[in-house]
Amino acid sequence: MSNTHTDSGDAGGIVKKLRKQLNWLQRGRDIRSLQLQGLLAFVDLAILAFFLFGPYLRTGPSYLIIDYMIAVWVTIELIAQAILAGSVRAFVKRPMSWIDLFILATLLLPDLLFNFTFLRAMRIWAIGNSPFLKEGLRRLGCAHLLDIVRACVNLVVFLFIVTGFVYTTFFYGQGGWEGFVDALYFTVATVTTTGFGDITLPGVMGKLTSIVTMIVGISLFVRLAQAVVRPYKVNFPCPQCGLQRHDADAVHCKACGHLLNIPDEGQ
């Protein structure tokens, strides 16, 4: 009995230590953790490039080898995220968990689900909302551009996902780059509401895709315009009233007048 409790305690201690290390890797702001976060971001972008060029690599002998290597990597990421979540319930509540699980399925069944690999673009969105981007911009002296960069990332991710969906659903049969370029052209023309009309999507599915693309796309464009035009503010919750955003040089909260101590670049 005592051996069982000891083993359970040792296992729990190992999990806690591993969770602490993973949390440092994901949220740390020292040089070492930022370097590792940058390396992981590079791996995500490399995997995305593999998916982008997938239709042209499928005939090569090394395609399945790379595909299953990426599947192993995604599995390791999922295990790490499950450890960080602390419980199964917390893990399944994360939208990225379900997206990564579906991506893993596309990697394990490439002939059946290869059309859905464009969902890996959501990893760019995760990078854009990670501490790595915020801390990287701060160290470069460009912290004031955070909202603009994130708005651009959100728009690019949306364009990529819609382009991937349109390409795999309506233009996949075209050879070379023609199908992908047509899908990208349609997406940009629809999002910007230019609507040249020379390329349209057939059927009810095509109409619904166009409607969703226009509604969401124009919203992201407005968000980007707001980030560019509005004055720069910092995220610093007021201890008194909880107001989140303040002018970078604010001394008092404009809502309640409470004295603020907003860190600047010198702190």
Domains of the chain: 1-141 (no CATH), 147-230 (1.10.287.70), 233-267 (no CATH)
Mean pLDDT of the chain: 75
pLDDT in tens, 181-216: 888 888 888 888 777 777 888 888 888 888 888 888
d(CA 52, CA 75): 21
d(C-alpha 244, C-alpha 235), whole Å: 5
Ranges 48-57, 212-221, 228-237, 249-258, most confident: 212-221
Q: Looking at the DSSP assignment, which residues form a beta bridge with residue 247?
A: 233
**Which burial class, exposed, middle or buried, applies to 202 when counting CB atoms under 10 A from its CB (0-12, 13-18, 19+)?**
exposed
Q: Is the dihedral of CA 235, 38, 122, 162 positive or negative?
A: positive
The whole-angstrom separation of Cα 146 and Cα 129 is 10
Q: Which long-range contacts (CB under 8 A, 24 or more apart) does 25-32 make?
A: 26/84, 26/130, 26/131, 27/131, 28/131, 29/131, 29/135
pLDDT above 70 (res 4): no
Of the two residues 96 and 78, the one the predictor is more confident about is 78
- C-alpha span between 16 and 5 (Å, rounded): 16
Tokens 């595909």 sit on residue: 67
pTM of the model: 0.65
Closest CA to 55 of 159, 164, 162: 164
What's residue 267's pLDDT?
A: 46
pLDDT of residue 3: 53
Q: Tell me the C-alpha distance between 85 and 64, whole Å.
A: 31
Give 92-101 contacts, CB < 8 A, sequence gap 24+.
96/122, 96/126, 100/74
CA distance 224 to 154: 9
Q: Is the pLDDT of residue 75 over 60?
A: yes
Q: Is the pLDDT of residue 49 over 60?
A: yes
Q: Which two tokens stand for residue 78?
A: 């999922």
Q: Which of 64, 48, 56 shows the shortest CA–CA distance to 180?
A: 56
Q: How far apart are CA 165 and CA 114, in angstroms?
A: 11
**Residues in the chain, total:** 267
